Structure 1
Amino acid sequence: MTDLPSTMRAIDPEAAGGPDVLRLVDRPVPRPGEGELLIRVAAAGVNRPDILQRQGNYPPPPGAPSIPGLEVAGTVVALGQGADARLLGRPVMALLAGGGYADYAIAPSGQCLAVPPALSMVEAAALPETLFTVWSNLFERGRASPGETVLVHGGTSGIGTIAILLGKLFNLTVIVTAGGAEKCARARALGADHAIDYRAEDFVAAVKAIAPSGIDVVLDMVGGDYLPRNLAVLGPEGRHVSIAVQRGATAEIPIWQVMQKRLTLTGSTLRARDVGFKTDLRNTLARTVWPFLADGRLRPVIDATFPLGRAADAHARMEEGAHVGKIVLVMDGA
């Protein structure tokens, strides 16, 4: 690391608050430990958990940096002991437990994927958190299989847009909910088979009209009072997968319905899972999804980019709720 600077720019707020706490500061360039890579960051994805962390509602897991940012793309510039030496000097996209809003970030080598030439660094930075989350929850926990019908809430979010794109690549019928006619139109343009404007109609009635016998999987980031409504649209052997709780962390459910339809209720978080789990998931993605990235059949939807120094504007954009796809921070010119 002798050719690297000792300090870097980063977003590392000292206290919780609104977007205005996201200001540039100087921090030491981190050093990679065993099995880790140091990445010179070109771009970093912005995700809903970053906002929760900024607000003081989602602290980093033990050992993770206080700097927010769960996904980056950049070039590997240094290796820790035991890290994959083949990655030195190569462009990678990486899933992090934190630290992405900075010029340099650390990632376990097992949480990195090579950036294919078909993707820009901005596109690559928009992928790890959503790909790992959607694959783990929709396809593994939810067991979505070709020919099945799935309901995805938040269809124009980063998670939602990737779920649409992967769903079509893996021959699912995809129903989404979104807020407003324009967002529904965008979702259908991406490949959603049906898009329901939850502001204008009851999504339960709309889904039942589309699939009277019930659907197979719900991928839910809403929680709260949506949970029993989701169960109402599931068919026999249906699976409900919770990944966030934007409308509340508790719900009352009809247990007889769960029993009669033999439903499965599951869910997960990703950030606190260990490196071994994430490495296994990376290996699965490399086998199943990376080929679609390499040939250009899968690329993320980018809503907007902001320089690192305007991270506050990026968070404000996400909190406004008008975005479609991913918001990304870029390091050059910040």
Structure 2
Amino acid sequence: MQFIDQANIEVEAGKGGDGMVAFRREKYVPAGGPAGGNGGKGGSIIFRCVEHLQTLLDFRYNHRFKGQDGERGGPKNCTGANGKDMIVEVPCGTVVYDAATDAIIGDLTEPEQTLVVAAGGKGGLGNKHFLSNSNRAPEYCLPGLMGEIKLLRLELKLLAEVGIIGLPNAGKSTLISALSSARPKIADYPFTTLIPNLGVVRKPTGDGTVFADIPGLIEGASHGAGLGYDFLRHIERTKILLHLIDATSDDVIADYNTIRQELNAYGRGLEQRPQILVLNKIDAIDQDSVDLDVLAEELKQLSQLQVFVISAVTRTGLETMMQEVWKILDEMKLKEQEYELVEV
């Protein structure tokens, strides 16, 4: 399945039905008067958030969505039928933008959440509506209004509580495969991961937490270099960032600074997101030439963060690292609950 996280589409809601000019002509009913009904409302375009979709692939081949027009009003004061709304399913995490103004129309994050992206046109009024003491036989009606037409830009931002970031080949895919049942492509060359991968990691309580393996960032990613810019949006919703650093790198400090600078350049609060710094691939380093304790201490002094030393391949240190992840998530959840109580 192709991972498509951006799409441009056109939506057009249905036109409202025209009103009708008609008069009541029945036996034994003299001067029956106007009896033209109103037109029906045009069908709207409604997005619905569903869990079984994980990509915007459907919008790659279908760019235009049209709502059903309302029917014309009928005689005997009959109102025309409303046009049927068009329900369009989108994956959870879809942000809808007005392509003309770049304004956010809505953000769909909860299953079965709906959003009207284009409202149907109002039906026209029949001639009965214009009956008055001064006009006992109106011979005019109103046409139905056009439905909204919009050009939309859709962006998918993955819903994950923990985002795994780092330079290419830092071991992100190996880590998510070690923690969950996700099976991303793994190889010993950079840019193995070309799309974000999601994996559900079980807490000791049995609850599931979604982890996202974000394709490798490089210097300049926040300005469009490499793959990073296209996928930085996917960590905007995460609560914690697991920053993986390759312990076998020639310059671990430079690797850390590169990712930190890209987060700062991208903005949107990523630089302030809680981070857990992780030195990975300790199984592949030369213990005689590299002092892990000294390296970890240097990173700690520079980042002011606790540094965890792990091997995703041999699963060394994963339990200690995950205890810190659960601790931070639990603290954040407690703060959210306290905030909700204060609001109430």
Question: TM-score, length-normalised on structure 2?
Answer: 0.27
Bigger RCO (CA 8 Å, 6+ sep) = 1
**TM-score when scaled to structure 1?**
0.27
